[in-house]
Amino acid sequence: MSFSQIWDAGFKSIMIYIGVVFVWLCFLEANFSDRGVSVTIMNIVAAILAVGFFIFARHRCFKERALAEAEIATLMKEVD
């Protein structure tokens, strides 16, 4: 992954984390009797989704790179 791809995936992961926190606090926190438990579960869910997105983006980047390298190898064989 290049720096710009890491930066983009990291920024989007942070935005996912913040989005989950806002949605949780607006719609789901009222369903919990203990605020501490709610915040703990919220942080776990938000972190899992953010890290999951980053891993997905990383996997997609490596897959795209492998496809591009395969295409270049095919083009190089056509030239020879």
Q: Which residue segment(s) compose the domain that 49 sits in? A: 3-79
Answering whether pTM is above 0.75, one says yes
Confidence at 80, pLDDT banded by 50, 70, 90: low
Q: What CA–CA distance (Å, rounded) separates 77 from 36?
A: 61
Contact 36, 19 (CB under 8 A): no
- What domain count does the chain have? 1
Phi-psi region of 40 (alpha: psi -120 to 50; beta: other; left: phi over 0): alpha
Q: What is the three-class DSSP state of 73? A: helix
pLDDT value of residue 66: 95
- pLDDT tens readout for residues 17-69: 999 999 999 999 999 999 999 999 999 999 999 999 999 999 999 999 999 99
